[in-house]
Amino acid sequence: MSSELLAPLDLAFWHLESADHPMHLGALAHFGPLPADGDPSTVLDLLASRAAAIPRLRMKVRDVLLPVGGAAWTADKRFDVRRHVRQIALPGSDFAAEAARLAGELMERPVERGLPPWEMYLLTGAPDGSFAVLVKLHHALADGMRAVAIGAGIFDEIAAARRPGRSRARTVPPRSWLPGPGRIMGAARDRIEDLGRAVEVGASVVGASVVRAGLLDGRAAPSALAAHSSGTRRVATAVLDLERVHQVRRTTGGTANDVLLAVVAGALRRWLDGRGEPLPGIDPRALVPVSRRRPGAPAGTGNSFSAYLLTLPVTEPDPATRLAAVRRAMDRNKADGPLRGAGAVAVLADQLPSLAHRFGAPLASGAARLLFDVLVTNVPLPRSALSLGGAPLRELFPMAPLARGQALAVAMSPYGGRVHVGLVADGKAVPDLDALAAALAEELELLEHLDGGR
C-alpha cells in the first residue's frame, strides 16, 4: 500500500473540512476494570502497538499532479504512533460525565493534516479502575462500517486473530495487464450506468432543495436544529435496551431501525416541548446513511455508502402514528433503493471529478442545510464480546460530524443487548443536549405501551 488515489467521495470529505467543521468520525468506548493481574500502565502501550500494526493508520494524504485536484494516500515514512495516541487523566467524581465533556472538546478539533488523519485518547481516573478510549478517524479515511473494521484492531479478540501466522496469503492468479474486449465493454457499460444514475440523483437533489425551500417559505423551520456554526461541540450519550426495541418492533411491525428513528422523532418533540419552544412549522428532515457494502464482503477502503431522506414526524402528537409514518416512509425508501433519490448525494459525489471537489467544497458544504436538518445513522458493531487488555468493553458510543449550518447529529450502535446512542451538537446552539439524551429513553418507554400501531 505505497500509494493509492483517494476515491471521489473520500476526496469530497477531505475538502469539505474547515476549522469550524471537522470531518472526522468518533467513538467513545468505556471499558470495565482490568483483571486483577492487569497493569493500567500497559494499556497506553497496548493501544499504541495495536494501532501501529494497522496498515491503514500509517497512511497520510498528499496532493498529486494528476488527476488535477486529486490526492493520494501514501505511507508516512516518519510515522510515530505516539503523535496519535495520548493519555488524559480525568477527575474521578463523575467519570462518565467528564469523559463526555472532554469528548466534546476533542471532537471540535480537526485532526492534524500532514499526518495520518486519526487520533486515540486513553481516558483514565475512574475510582473503580475502569477507563475509556476516544477514537477519531477522518471521514476521508472511512465510513462508519469501515471505521469499525479499522478501529476493531485495538480489541484483544481482533488483535489475536491478526497475529503473524494466523492468516494465509491469498493466491492471486496471473492476469494480463491488457484488458480484453469483454472487460472494456463491461467497464464502459458500468460507467454509462453510473453517469446516468448520477444525473438522476442530481436532478432529485435540485428538486428536493427547491421543494424544501418552497415548504419553508413563510413557515417556521426547525430552528433548534440549525446553527450559525460556533466551532464548538458538545457530546451526550444514552443507552437503550435492545430487547425493548425489538418488543416494540414485534408489536407494531417494521424493523428495529424504524423503531429507533421513531424514538428520535418523539424525543425531538419531547425535547422541544421541554425547552418551551413552539413546534416547527415543517417537520425536520433526516439524512439516514445506508451502506453500499455487501453483507459478508471485505470492508474495503474508504467510503461506500448512500443515504435515504426521511421526514421525522415531530409535529405529530400521537406516538403510534409517528412510528407508522416512519415505517411507511422507510418502506418507500427501501423500495426505491439506496441509489435513487435526493438522499443518494454520496452517489452523486462519487461521480464528480477531483477538481470539482477541490473548488466546489465550500458551496457543497453550505447546500447540506437545504436537503436535511439532522443526520441519524446506525453503525453496526461486532456481536461478540470485546475487550482491551482483558478489560471488557461495556459501552461504545459512535459520534458523527456536523454539516455546516446544522446543530445535531445522532449515531447509534447496538452492542451487548443495548443500543448506545452518541449525540454530537454545536455547543452553543444546543447547551441542553443532555435533556435530549434523556428524552430518548422516555420515548422508548412510551412506545412500549402501544397496542400494535396504526
Confidence band, pLDDT 50/70/90 cuts, at residue 290: confident
pLDDT, greater one: 121 or 10:
121
- Residue 438 CA to residue 271 CA, distance in Å, equals 9
| Whether pLDDT at 275 is above 80 | yes
Residue-wise pLDDT for 433-447, tens only, equals 999 999 999 999 999
Q: What is the pLDDT of residues 183-212, one digit of tens each?
A: 444 444 444 344 444 444 444 544 444 445
Instruction: Please give the pLDDT value at position 344.
Output: 57
Phi, psi dihedral angles at 335 (to 5 degrees): -65, -40
Integer Cα distance of 244 and 152 in angstroms: 27
Segment 211-215 shows an average pLDDT of: 49
pLDDT computed for residue 405 by the predictor: 82
Higher pLDDT, 451 or 38: 38
**% the chain with pLDDT above 90:** 51
Among 22-31, 93-102, 149-158, 382-391, the minimum mean pLDDT is found in 149-158
Can you say whether residue 391 is alpha, beta or left, with left for phi > 0 and alpha for psi between -120 and 50 degrees? beta
Which residue did the predictor score with more confidence, 171 or 258? 258
Maximal C-alpha separation, the chain? 69
> Which stretches does DSSP call E strand in 363-454?
374-378, 387-388, 391-399, 408-415, 418-426
148, pLDDT greater than 90: no
> What is the number of residues in the chain?
454
Does residue 42 contact residue 162 with C-beta atoms inside 8 Å?
no
Distance CA 449, CA 28 (A): 32
pLDDT exceeds cutoff 80 at 259: yes
Instruction: Give residue 96's Cα distance to chain centre.
Output: 21
**Average pLDDT for 150-177:** 63
Cell 443532555, residue? 434
Q: Per-residue DSSP letters for 86-108?
A: EEEE--STTHHHHHHHHHHHHHT
DSSP E strands in 305-452: the ranges are: 305-311, 374-378, 387-388, 391-399, 408-415, 418-426
Q: Which residue has the cell 478489560?
A: 391
Of 36 and 365, the one with more pLDDT = 36
CB distance 420 to 239 below 8 Å: yes
In the predicted structure, residue 260 carries a pLDDT above the cut 70: yes
Beta strands, E only, 254-343: 285-291, 305-311
The amino acid at residue 283 is: D
pLDDT for the residue numbered 431: 93
Q: What is the pLDDT of residue 178?
A: 43
Which segments of 242-350 are extended strands (E)?
285-291, 305-311
Range list of H helices, 77-155: 95-107, 144-151
Predicted confidence band of residue 278 (pLDDT cuts 50, 70, 90) = confident
43 has a pLDDT exceeding 80 = yes
What mean pLDDT, rounded, does the chain reach? 81
Q: Is 117 in contact with 20 (CB distance < 8 Å)?
A: no
Give the pTM. Answer: 0.85
